Structures are given as structure tokens and as C-alpha cells.
Amino acid sequence: MSSEITSISDKENYFLVGPGPANCSPRVLTALSSYPILPPGYQIFKVISEVKQLLKYAFQTQNDATLAIQNSGTGGLEAAIINTVDPKEVIIVAVNGYWGERVAEIGRLREITVIEIVPKKPGVFTFEELEEAIKKHKPVLLFITHGESSTGLLQPLKGLGNICHKYNCLLAIDAVVTLGGCPLFVDDWSIDIAVSAPQKAARGLPGLSYLTFSPKAVKRIRAIKTKPPFYYNILKLCDVWKCFDQHSPYYYTFNSNLLYAAREGLLELLEETLSVSCDKHKKLAKRLWSGLEKLGFEFIVKKPEDRLWTVTPVYLPPNISWAKINEYLTTKYQLFVGCGLGSYENKIIRIGIMGYNARDELVQRVLDKLQEALLYCQK
Ligand code: GLV
């Protein structure tokens, strides 16, 4: 058995330009390779409290209940739902792709009554249709994906929280692929629950999920009758993160290296500022879209104003398979673009220019190599 852990031949020149994880900076990778530290203790609490402060900045929130937990973005979504909703209660899941479908499934597994809605016209949901559904079904929570990386939609959210609150409904969002790359103002937009993860525009690595809960959401967490499973108990984890007065030094063993890396990625974001980072993602996305259009690619999302800035899915040209294009790009250039998920499997490729990879030269590189790959695949 060889000790080689990846087949990447040139570690300086490989590019994760799919839906994530994205590459992270040398600074983040250095942080990852620090010595693990022992929980509980002063050192781990220091990094935890710094990550919490940085997350408040990234989410633009003053929510006390802001924390990271140890699992994937999906784990964060599951934690958010099962800590705030009891079985048999009604929630609406606004489904615009794979991630919405997943949350609906999480809800059903918890025996929550899940009402799935889809947009009346292809594209983002209008607030009118969302309000109509809330009026009709009286859910305790509306879940919507901010950035649907499976289809490339960027759902507007400003004003939606106030609509939900008129009906005593919480607003929960999936911001996994938008945090740090597209504007998101948790407090100003009255969002009750936001879930994200480090490995996209937040410049860290997979293995954590980031969560924030408004005071209304915390009230609900305290009130639900069916307690969450041990590992997903947000109130207990909030005690480790000292979100409220109580501080428990230990609940489970956090991977301190991941926390160090997360802190470094979030610090990079703070140093750059959210507004500069988001503007940069938007500018690069536009450049990418125009290049893809010139190459003849068709977008799932037709209106540029509805498109996500971090991940762009486009249809594969007729008779070109995902496998062939992917093989060409990875073996020849170590360029990793993403495949389609769910009903889009084998129909699209997904290009992510985000986080540390949000750089002009990478947009150009992706476009040049894609053009080459198309010629190769058409032969
Ligand atoms: C992951 O977030 C993906 O969209 O594949």
C-alpha cells in the first residue's frame, strides 16, 4: 500500500472549481496542520469564542446563538430543523432544487408535516406566492434555500422574514453556498435560522457547519417537546460555545484543527470585508457567464439577475458526457468542475468560482480549458 493519499500530482496547481469544497489559502492550510489541542480548556475555548465572533460578522448578526457544529452542511440543516420543529407540526419547504428536496426529506424523517412548494414560474419564488402558501398552510417554519447550488438560483430574501413573522412563522435558510460570496444580512432581513458551512465562499474546509438562531428561534428550541438526538442538541452545544450565561466546557471533542482553519478563513473574509468579497464574486460570476455564453453553453437560470454568484450550472452540449469532459479536465489540468445532482445528473456541469478561488485568472483558466475540452470531446 502506498502512502500517497491523493492522485494529485502538482499540489500547487490543482483547482477545485466545482460547487465546493473550493481550494483554501496556504494560511488556512497552515492553520489546519497545527497541533490538536485538548478539550476542555482555555485554548479551545479561545478559538471557539473567536470563531463565534467572526461568524457573527459573516452572518451579519448579533444573535447570541451563533456557533459551529461538527458535521457537514447537511448536518447543520438537520440540526436546524430537528431543534426547532416537533413531529406533526407543519413546515413549508420552498423547493427549487436538490437542497430544498433534502430538507423536505429531513423533515419527513422526523415525522414533521412537510408541505413542499415549487415556484409557479421557473426561477426564484416571489414573495406573493410564499405569503399565499404561508396563509394557506399556517406553518411554524418556512425553509428556503438562499443559494441553490444544484440549479444556480439566488433567492432574494430581504423582506421575507417580516412576511413570515406576520403569520408567526420562522424563516430558516440554507446559506451554505452564499455566506461570504453573496450579500446576506441575517438581522436586517429578519432571518431566524441560517445554516452555512466553511468550504465554499467562507474559505475553510468541510467538516463543520455554521449556524445562527434568532431569539425567536431560540425560544422555539427551548419550547419544543421532542428533544433532539444527543449529538444534535443545539442548547447543549450553545453552552459549550457560551452563547448564553451558562458555560459547559465539554460536550464532545471538537476537531481543533478544523476550528483553527475555520477561524483563519473567516478572518480572511473579515480582512477583505464582506462587501468587497461579495462584489468580487459578482464581478467574476459575470465574467464567467459571458465566457460560457461565448462557448455556447446554456444556463438553467435564464435571467442573470436570478443567478447565484458563486456556483454556475450549465447544460452539457448534446452528445458530450459529463464523464468525458471531467476526465479530460482532471487528468490533463487537475481542474475539478462539478457534476449535476438529482434530476440534473449527467445533464449539466457546475462551475464554482468562490472563496480563495475567486480570482480572475481562474475564471480565464476554466474558460480556456473548457473550450479545449469541448473540442476534444467533439472529436
Ligand atoms: C454541494 O454543495 C453541491 O452543490 O454539490
- Residue 177, Cβ density class (10 Å: 0-12 exposed, 13-18 middle, ≥19 buried): buried
pLDDT at 13: 84
Mutate to test the pocket of ligand 1, among 150, 153, 199 (most ligand atoms within 8 A of CB): 150
Complex ipTM value: 0.89
Closest ligand 1 atom, CA of 341? Answer: 5
pLDDT at 310: 98
- Residue 231, Cβ density class (10 Å: 0-12 exposed, 13-18 middle, ≥19 buried): middle
* Interior angle at CA 23, CA 17 and CA 24, nearest 5: 150
Calculate how far, in angstroms, residue 339's C-alpha sits from the geometric centre of ligand 1.
9
Calculate how far, in angstroms, residue 2's C-alpha sits from the geometric centre of ligand 1.
30
Q: Residues 72, 204: contact at Cβ < 8 Å?
A: no
Query: For a pLDDT cut of 70, what percent of the chain falls above it?
Result: 97
Average pLDDT value for residue range 246-263: 94
- Give the 3-state secondary structure of 322-349: HHHHHHHHHHHHCEECEECCHHHCCCEE
20 lines ligand 1 (CB under 6 A): yes
pLDDT in tens, 326-338: 999 999 999 999 9
pLDDT in tens, 200-216: 999 999 999 999 999 99
Calculate how far, in angstroms, residue 350's C-alpha sits from the geometric centre of ligand 1.
9
Strands 147-148 and 113-117: unpaired
pLDDT at 378: 85
Other Cβ atoms closer than 10 A to 378:
9
Q: Residues 31, 261: contact at Cβ < 8 Å?
A: yes
Closest ligand 1 atom, CA of 311? Answer: 4
Q: State the first-to-last Cα distance of the chain, in angstroms, to the nearest integer.
A: 38
What are 44-49's contacts with CB under 8 Å, separation 24+? 44/254, 44/256, 44/259, 45/242, 45/249, 47/256, 47/259, 47/260, 47/263, 48/240, 48/241, 48/242, 48/254, 48/259, 49/241, 49/242
Mutate to test the pocket of ligand 1, among 16, 72, 77, 99 (most ligand atoms within 8 A of CB): 99
pLDDT band at 218 (very low <50, low <70, confident <90, very high): very high
pLDDT at 2: 56
19 lines ligand 1 (CB under 6 A): yes
312 lines ligand 1 (CB under 6 A): no
Q: Which residue has the cell 460570496?
A: 181
Give the helix/strand (H/E) hosting 238.
helix 234-240
User: Considering the entire predicted model, what is its pTM?
Assistant: 0.96
DSSP letter string, 62-78: --SEEEEESS-HHHHHH
Average pLDDT value for residue range 148-170: 98
pLDDT at 9: 63
Other Cβ atoms closer than 10 A to 342:
12
Q: Residues 202, 227: contact at Cβ < 8 Å?
A: no
Q: Which three cell numbers stand for residue 207?
A: 467538516
Mean pLDDT of the residues in the chain: 95
Other Cβ atoms closer than 10 A to 20:
25
pLDDT at 38: 85
Is 365 marked as a binding-site residue? no
* Interior angle at CA 149, CA 182 and CA 103, nearest 5: 105
Residue 88: pLDDT above 90? yes
Nearest CA to ligand 1 atom 1: 19
Give the helix/strand (H/E) hosting 219.
helix 215-223
* Interior angle at CA 63, CA 264 and CA 154, nearest 5: 70
Rounded distance between C-alpha atoms, residue 140 and residue 132, angstroms:
15
pLDDT in tens, 275-324: 999 999 999 999 999 999 999 999 999 999 999 999 999 999 998 999 99
pLDDT at 244: 96
149 lines ligand 1 (CB under 6 A): yes
Residue 81: pLDDT above 90? yes
Average pLDDT value for residue range 29-45: 90
